[in-house]
Amino acid sequence: MVSIAGLNHWFGRGDQRRQVLYQLHLTLNPGEMVLLSGPSGCGKTTLLTLIGALRTVQNGSVEVLGEQLLKARKSVQQRVRRQMGIIFQQHNLLRCLTAAQNVQMGADLVPGLSFGQRRQRSIDLLAEMGLKDHHGKLPSALSGGQCQRVAIARALAANPRVLLADEPTAALDRRTGREVVELLKRMATHHHCAVLMVTHDPRILDVADRLLQMEDGRLTTAQAALQA
């Protein structure tokens, strides 16, 4: 699903140029859930945006879903993004759309579904997120945690082959956060989706297949998760 070799990345220009990623090597396999942790500012979010074709790859090989992102054309980047689900720290919901309409934006990317099927998929996913009675509400009528659950449902609605999540449980309580992570794990297993999640939550580490640690732009450890 994802194969990275010798990835380096810099921010800034001239005297202000600063390297933020150093010689990263990483593989994500179908059906695998990998958790990535590390201190703030160590490069975790930068890595996610490079895999998600949201940022230009400067140096090294980043192959996602059979497409090489180094020197990739915009059409290639768009093709990759359409097969991915991305959950940001901020929910980024459209304020003028209801919860169900926001989720349906993800379902609209699934070929072969009628409008009714896409609508029903959105409502079903919201129910799985504990928002059964909130699908008709605008984001302004939802709490921050509820908005984050809508954003997670939107990413899942597209049936992504790769799912990238940047601290998706940060705004959720312990029980809901656990339920969301277990839902992502089921998706990885049942739909052969590769999941890479950035997290600082030690309570969910047992759900992962692998744990990765990043520090100062380098992957320092990689180990199998301890299952509870």
State mean pLDDT over 125-154: 89
**Does the pLDDT of residue 96 top 80, yes or no?**
yes
Query: pLDDT value at position 225?
Result: 54
**Does the pLDDT of residue 226 top 60, yes or no?**
no
Query: pLDDT value at position 222?
Result: 61
Q: Could you report the per-residue pLDDT of 195-215, keeping only the tens digit for each?
A: 999 988 877 888 899 999 999
> What architecture is the 29-57+72-224 domain classified under in CATH?
3-Layer(aba) Sandwich (3.40)
- Give the containing element (helix H, strand E) for 100: helix 99-107
HSE-up of 188 (CA within 13 Å, CB side)? 27
> Looking at 46-60, 154-168, 172-186, which range is the least confident one?
172-186
| CA–CA gap between residue 21 and residue 206 (Å, rounded) | 27
Query: pLDDT value at position 228?
Result: 43
**Does the pLDDT of residue 224 top 60, yes or no?**
no
Residue 103's pLDDT band (cuts 50, 70, 90):
very high
Residue whose tokens read 């992502």: 184
Please report which residue ranges of 52-173 form alpha helices under DSSP H. Answer: 74-81, 99-107, 115-128, 144-157
Residue whose tokens read 């601290």: 167
Q: Could you report the per-residue pLDDT of 22-50, keeping only the tens digit for each?
A: 999 999 999 999 999 999 889 999 999 99
On whether the CB atoms of residues 51 and 43 are closer than 8 A, the answer is no
| CA–CA gap between residue 21 and residue 8 (Å, rounded) | 5
State mean pLDDT over 101-108: 92
Query: pLDDT value at position 4?
Result: 97
